[in-house]
Amino acid sequence: MCIRAVFSLADRDYVTVERCVAKLLPITEEYNLKLWFSLALMIKEFLAARNGDSSSFQRFASADELLTATKFKMFMPILRIEFSRSLLALGLTGEAADLADKAHEMIMQTSERWPLSDLHRLQASLAKADNNLEAVEEHLHAALDVARHQGAKMWELRAAIDLASLWRDAGRTEDAIALLQPIYDCIDEGDCPEDRAIAQTMIVAFTS
């Protein structure tokens, strides 16, 4: 159930995430499964932050500390990345940057590299908040490179969407289309539906 919640979170299937957490919390608390309870708490606080609750930061940090004390590190990078993104959306840029650094440290420690492309996207967002457009582009190119090396089409499409948006804003519409169109075309209909819809809307806007 925890694994399903984490991967649903990465897929942005928040309905499934909420359903999994609602089942996990009472079970893990009743049977004193501290590791899984802490993990479920972190996901719960991510959902709270996503819904605009800035007070979730301290609760997430407490659950993160409890889980770290168990020496359990699986899924920690992606949870820190996603929560950091929520903090950034709440305007808590410093806290978001600190958590992104912790996510990077854990990826380097554990070699759990599957969320690395998403970390680069997050770092691009943090650089954009500082108006460092050169760093934004560097991180998005890195996100693309990692995703392509991993064969991770979802991460590749998300990085391409972000980079195409950056190029569009810079007046590089032709470059944006040339980047985004082939990646969009190689993903089957039904896969990554939300991301494909965003990409399709962008392509239509670019070519109209």
pLDDT by residue (tens digit) across 107-139?
Answer: 999 888 999 999 999 999 999 999 999 999 999
Residue 50, both tokens: 């996503």
Buried b (16+ CB within 10 A) or exposed e, 3-36: eebbebbbeebeeebeebbeebbeebeeeeeebb
Digit-coded pLDDT (tens) for 77-94: 999 999 999 999 999 999
Joined together, the tokens standing for residue 42 give: 């972190």
Please state the domain extents for the chain. 1-109, 113-208
Cα distances from 45 to residues 49, 68, 128, in angstroms, run 6, 16, 25
The predicted pLDDT at position 112 comes to 87
Identify the architecture of domain 113-208 in CATH: Alpha Horseshoe (1.25)
- Give the pLDDT score at 190: 84
pLDDT score of 97: 98
pLDDT lower than 50: segments of the chain: none
CA distance 65 to 30: 21
| pLDDT reported for residue 103 | 97
Q: What is the pLDDT of residue 12?
A: 93
